[in-house]
Amino acid sequence: MTTTPFRVCFVCTGNICRSPMAEHVFRRHVEEAGLDGIVEVDSAGTDGWHEGDGADPRTVRVLQEGGYTSAHTARRFQRDWFDRLDLVIALDSGHLRTLRRLAPTPRDADKVRLLRSYDPAADDLDVPDPYYGSMDGFEECLKMVEAASDGLLDAVREGVEGRGTA
C-alpha cells in the first residue's frame, strides 16, 4: 500500500532567495530524520517575476557554503496547490496574508504558517528579504531558516504520525 506524502511548500515573493533557501535546508532536515520519501519539500513565490530562473547567486553561495544542495527553478504558487499541500510555509507576514487570501477554503487558509513561528527564540516572525542588500542579509536569512527548521520538523513529524504514515 502506498501512502500520500506529507507535502510542505515554502513561499516567498519571487522564489529565488528565501523560499529556495528554506526548501534546501528543510529537505536536509527531512533526509537526516529518515523522512525522505514520506515528506516532500518544495518552494514557490507569490509573484511570477522570476519563473524559470535559478536561485539568486547569493542564495546559492550561502547554501553551498553551508553544505546544502542548491539546484532550483523558480515558479509561482498556484491556488489549486492547496488541495495537495499539508503545510504552506510563508517567509513573512505579507506572504502569510497573500496566501491566506488565496486559499480556497478556511481549512486551506489554516495550512499557511510563518516559518519563524517554529523558532521559539524568534522575537520577530518575519524573515527579511535579503534581495536588495549585501551577503550579510543572505547569511542572516540562512541562520533564521536553520533556527526554525527543528521546530518545523517536529510539527511535520507530528503531522506524519497523525496520518499513520511514519
How would DSSP label each residue in 91-119?
A: SSHHHHHHHHHH-SSHHHHTTEEEGGGG-
79 as an active site residue: the answer is: no
Q: Beta partners for 39?
A: 6, 36
Active site residue 12: yes
For residues 42 and 74, is the Cβ–Cβ distance under 8 A? Answer: no
In a domain, 1, yes or no: no
| Total structural domains within the chain | 1
User: Which one is catalytic: 36, 53, 86, 129?
Assistant: 129
Assessment of whether the complete model's pTM goes beyond 0.75: yes
- Among residues 9, 12, 17, 141, the one annotated as catalytic is 12
Cα angle at 84 between 91 and 24, to 5 degrees?
Answer: 40
Residue 143 lies in a domain: yes
Compute the distance between CA of residue 51 and CA of residue 48 in angstroms, rounded to an integer: 5
In this model, does residue 117 exceed pLDDT 70? yes
- Report the CATH number that the domain containing residue 152 is assigned in CATH: 3.40.50.2300
Note the pLDDT tens digit of each residue in 51-73: 999 999 999 999 999 999 999 99
For residue 39, what are the domain limits? 6-163
- Identify the band that residue 1 occupies on the pLDDT scale cut at 50, 70 and 90: very low
**Average pLDDT of span 113-142:** 97
For the question of residue 9 being annotated catalytic, the response is: no
Q: Annotated catalytic residue: which of 9, 18, 28, 58?
A: 18
**Looking at residues 120-146, what average pLDDT do you find?**
97
Note the pLDDT of residue 166. 53
Is 29 a domain residue? yes
